[in-house]
Structure 1
Amino acid sequence: HLASPPLGPQHIPNYPPYMADKSLFIIAIDFGTSYSGYCFALESCVDQIRQVFWGMEHGFKTVKTPTCILFNEKKEFKKFGYDAVMKYNTFPASEAPKWYFFQNFKMKLYNQVSGTLKITSNMELEADNGRMLPALTVFSESLRYMKDHALNSIGEASFQTACEPEDITWVVTVPAIWDASARQFMRLAAKEILSSLHHSEGRDFSSCQQLFFLNKLTNLILWCLGGTIDITVHEIQQDKTLKELHKASGGGWGGNTVDENFKAFLREIFHGGIWDEYIKKYPTEFHQMMYNFGLQKCSSSRDDVYLHCYTNLIKVAEQKQDISLFFNHVEGTHWHDGIIMITYEKMKSFFAYSTGKIIGALKEILRKPEMATVQYILLVGGFASSIILRDEIYHTFSERYSILCPMEAQAAIVKGAVLFGYNSQIVASRISARTYGVAVCHAFDAAVHDERKKRVSKTDNYVYCTDLFKRLVGIGDLINIDEDVHYTFTPVEPDQTSMQLRFCCTEKENAKYIDEKGMKMLGSCTVPMPNPELGRNRQVRLDVKFGLTEFKATATDLTSNQSRTVMIDFLTM
């Protein structure tokens, strides 16, 4: 089910391929909180991005499929997407508890990071019925399904031309506000599933490029709307690359918050434990009702909403009283012969938390002096399809900014990820989301340093302070992609035969010690220093090269010319 290429050659700059120069195909997977999909293109024809339509066997035709996965009672993968939803929804009440049905499970990574729990490789996820499976299994099998589906689509499009793993560059989108541990978990989940894997932040590069014909120096705010809301600000340069003007920000304010408010609304209607009894006895019906609501949530209509009420909900409710009586005490809703009517104003109230958070975050960013040149607010992602969200943004910001939304907002991100796979240098610079540095030692100064950090050399009684933090990049600093920065260090002990460089980061602008609260250790490398004859008169040169998704640190002993390299994730938020 392949769509016609949505973009013409005039919209795609003629970039040289930086990332996919040895690949035949670029496949980008947008693994979303609520919906997932993919697009692909020949590396030689990246102006013709192909997308897939989902759900046609179930009466749908969408550019994404629900991010839902179903395992049987033996914990074996069975279905993904619409197939998983429809299979689970057909189960009788006695059968559903035996299976493992997962939805919105990607938010677990964001919630773990934003809370107090850590993301680990052995963490587990809770299915709809309370049963548990390893998170890695759920994520890996989801990616495996998307991979197999994509390869089958390419086989159909290329008359079953065989593709070797090295023929494909894979790109997986991740939210810009995820931290390094969440990204690393996704890498781990994809490690044995995808080869030539690259991660792209949830940003819509293709929509940015469509703005080139408007103004080659256009400033814009880029939204990625799903389970989370990501806000970034870019300036389009004369060479058609993007310069980041503000670090990625946002929060868990996406479409799922609207769903939660809707469920609270139904619980208010069917009070006294009736709603809880219903969803416990009839989980498949409940899920179908939420799916139907999801379609209404992202509607472009400003009309009242009419939702079918399932027979079992009526049966459970009428064990207490006539179902129409439940609607007498709740404003904004009425009962009409098996239909729950929700007024448009009531529907808007479900969005109030999300839109309030989004508008507040936007105002905070846009009032900064460096944002004075912003001209466009661009909405992308599935949640951007909602007329309620678009209206709130338009009414708040349209006097000063042009509000834009692509025709296929849900597919815009994954199309941009294909372009990222073709050319990672489409982003020329970025704003550091944290302060990054390395652990060092200095001569001890009692007036400045903590006595507990005082150390004495066993060789010559040299007194020094340990665990000091040397800043390499500050939070909010502009980092040019592929920029090289050089530093020089000397050994603490005159006879040491190696030097360990420990890298860490913090949300503070400055830090003194590497063990301060909020400091995160990112990695280390140990470079040999085999010749101690020169004592402390030796040097180790640290070369740091900043990339889009990580930075590479290479430490070289200038006496022996031996070196070691470590890659550090640079997309920490």
Structure 2
Amino acid sequence: MTSQPLNGDVIAHDTLFRKDRAYHRYCIIKINLDYFFFSRFKMDLHWKDMRHDTEIHDVTGKALPAISVFSSSIKFLTDHLFQTLGDRGHPMETSQILFVLTVPAIWTESAKQFMREAAVQAGIHTNQLVLALEPEAASLYCQRVPSQFMSCGTDDRINSPGTQYLVADIGGGTADFSVHEVNEDGTLTEVHMATGGPYAGTNVDEEYIKLYNKIFGWKTMQKLKAMDMEEYLSISRNFETKKRLVCEEYSESFNVKLAAALFKRVKAKPRKMKKSIAESGMKDLISIDGDKIKFSPSAIKRLFCTPIDGIISHLQNLLQEHEKVKSILLVGGFSESKLLQEEIKKAMADKTFVIPNECGLAVLKGAVLYGHSPLSITSRIMKYTYGVASDSIFKEGIHPKARKYKDENGEFRCKRSFSILISKGTKVSATGVKIIRTSEPVTTTQMMIAERVYYTDNENPIVVDEKCKLLKGYKLSLPENNGKPRIVKSTFTFGLTEMKYCSEVIETGVQKVGTLDLL
């Protein structure tokens, strides 16, 4: 683990972002004489509404702007690419390459835009960057993999026209689920909107660390982290290699040598250690012998229960909605887990499974295919209802009376009604569907139109309430009132991997084009 500062920069940083032998993802940033160690930081985008100034914390609790961490990681990858191309005698410029950045399909628009901004800060021009949804990329790749390169199933299960299959992209941090149908020309249509959650490989790791916290105490583990980061990280790293071997027939105990700080606590308080193990619910499954802690096979398998149960429940709910689905495509890093494969097959014995070799690389390889042929996906299903908060004309029996008020022209309006742009569940072309909205000032003295875009799980919201989440607000200046209509035309494009936006003040012709600044 090394880090080199960039020459001459006041804030200098370089990034290491790769898989080591234990497949441990991390990023080290050096700023002056201080080091920051970030691990599995991609999950921060899943839980937060990202903004330009959002900070994330490294494993020691120190904070940096999230955009800096992500852009540094992307820059390391692009630098490595150009170095490799040069070493192999194929030097290229950034302008010669179309970059494809994959994102989970369940991410919000702000998280996707955050990744685009991070890539731009890393030196990639926005016009040379395409965002691909991870389950779509994996699905495209598996459409082209011959049966001999499948570890389970055959390609004819998912590539015949009219076939519907469920894509389960189960990675390290998130699980994305979607249903695709094969068209006559071999392209794919999304039949069910992307859904998912945090059921993934990191959940198993988290359960493992929780055991250490219960047995040795949270304060002791934090002290170990502060005193010897390498020893602390080795706990997860050593487990990562063992985790991949676990299956139903797994019968090996997992013996781990304790770090010096933990062994010291065992010698000082042996009875307390035994009590902590008993209180962890694994009295007969975990033991401490000298400077080693021993986990039985049952104890290791139990760590998988929470994510596997969540995955199976989600799959079963989707299959109930789509009876035509006969096959399940398993991709993503956690899908390589034999125990996960066995439990899913057991729970859904009437389905066939298609699993490519090295299924953890399916998204990566599919992203290349998507970059060459983005129209291989012909349509998508909207995950949310999008709309604008507006004081529309009050409709008796529809709008709540508590929102009713009279404007200066004597018209009754509804305060913050939800003006729908597009509804959840709508099938839209992957080339984009444009929704045009016109608006004009409510008062004659109004010199600006300010609108706020919201999204919600509700298919038919009436007003903006606590179930609606703010996507972004935007403002447009208006010309002075000269008796002519002062109309603003806003065009929203849905169906692409990112939402696009364009607005125009009709009288002045002033336009704002591109994406809404969601950060």
The TM-score by the shorter chain falls in which range?
0.7 to 0.9
Q: Partners of 2:35 and 2:448 in 1: how far apart? A: 54
Compared CA separation, residues 283 and 132, structure 1 to 2 (3 A): same
CA RMSD of aligned residues (A): 3.8
Code of the aligned partner of 2:316 = K
The answer to which of 305-314 and 271-280 deviates more is: 271-280
Counterpart-to-counterpart distance in 2, 1:308 and 1:555: 61
Question: In 1, are the aligned partners of 2:382 and 2:495 still within 8 Å (CA)?
Answer: no
- Matched residue SS, 2:121: coil
Q: What is aligned with 2:35?
A: 99
Counterpart AA for 1:284: E
Match of 2:387 in 1: 437
The answer to whether the Cα contact below 8 Å between 2:109 and 2:498 also exists between their aligned partners in 1 is no
Shift of 1:348: 1.1
Match among 128, 149, 160 for residue 216 of structure 1:
160
Q: Cα–Cα, structure 1 residues 319 and 415, in superposed 2: closer, same or farther, change >3 Å? A: same
What does residue 6 of structure 2 align with?
A: none
Q: Contact (CA 8 Å) 1:506, 1:520: kept in 2 or not?
A: no
Q: Which residue of the partner structure matches residue 497 of structure 2?
A: 549
**Between 499-508 and 223-232, the greater mean CA deviation after superposition:** 499-508
Distance 2:472 2:118 in 1: 20
Please list, as runs of the form range in 1=range in 2, the aligned pairs for 1:215-294 lying within 5 A after superposition.
Answer: 215-217=159-161, 218-224=163-169, 225-270=171-216, 278-294=224-240
Contact 1:212 1:240 in 2 (8 A): no
Aligned 8 A contact 1:453 1:467 in 2: no
Q: Match for 2:353 among 387, 403, 412? A: 403
Report the secondary structure of 2:361's partner residue: helix
Cα separation, 2, equivalents of 1:36 and 1:278: 24
* TM-score of the pair, normalised by structure 1: 0.72
How do 1:105-504 residues align onto structure 2 when only pairs under 5 Å count? 105-111=41-47, 113=48, 118-157=49-88, 159-161=89-91, 163-193=92-122, 194-195=124-125, 196-203=128-135, 204=138, 205-210=140-145, 213-214=156-157, 215-217=159-161, 218-224=163-169, 225-270=171-216, 278-299=224-245, 302-310=250-258, 312=260, 313-321=262-270, 330-333=283-286, 340-368=293-321, 371-397=322-348, 399-445=349-395, 448-449=398-399, 450=401, 452-457=403-408, 461-465=410-414, 467-485=416-434, 487=436, 489=438, 491=440, 502-504=452-454
Question: Alignment partner of 2:184: what SS?
Answer: coil
**Residues 387-433 of structure 1 deviation map (CA, whole Å, 9 limit, x = unaligned):** 11111111111x22112222111211111111222222222111111
- In 2, the alpha carbon distance for the partners of 1:124 and 1:555 equals 31
- Corresponding residue number in structure 2 for 1:81: none
- How far, CA to CA, are the matches of 2:270 and 2:435 in structure 1? 76
Question: Residue in 1 aligned with 2:148?
Answer: none
- Larger mean CA deviation between 254-263 and 494-503 belongs to 494-503
Aligned counterparts of 2:39 and 2:461: Cα–Cα separation in 1? 40
Q: Percent identity?
A: 27
Q: Which one is further off, 163-172 or 292-301?
A: 292-301
CA contact (8 A) 1:550 1:567 kept: no
Offset of residue 263 of structure 1: 2.0
Instruction: State whether residues 550 and 569 of structure 1, in contact with CA within 8 Å, keep that contact through their aligned partners in structure 2.
Output: no
Distance 2:376 2:179 in 1: 14
- What is the distance in 2 between the residues matched to 1:466 and 1:188? 35
> Deviation string for 1:272-299 (max 9, x for gaps)?
9766655554331121131010111122
Look up the SS of the partner of 1:390 in the other structure. Answer: helix
1:522 Cα deviation (Å)? 3.2
Q: Determine the C-alpha separation between the residues in 1 that align with 2:155 and 2:114.
A: 35
- Distance in 1 (CA, whole Å) between partners of 2:211 and 2:376 is 45
Asked whether the 8 Å contact 1:543–1:555 carries over to 2, the reply is yes
Cα distance 1:567–1:247, how it changes in 2: closer, same or farther (>3 A)?
farther
Contact kept in structure 2, 1:229 and 1:252, CA below 8 Å:
yes
| Alpha-carbon separation, structure 1, partners of 2:391 and 2:358 | 54
DSSP 3-state at the match of 2:77: helix
Structure 1: stretches of 5+ with no match in the other structure: 1-34, 38-53, 76-97
| Equivalent residues of 2:105, 2:176 under 8 A apart | yes
1-structure distance, mates of 2:271, 2:471: 61
Task: Name 1:71's counterpart in structure 2.
Answer: 29
Task: Look up the SS of the partner of 2:458 in the other structure.
Answer: coil
**Distance in structure 1 (CA, Å) of the matches to 2:416 and 2:267:** 68
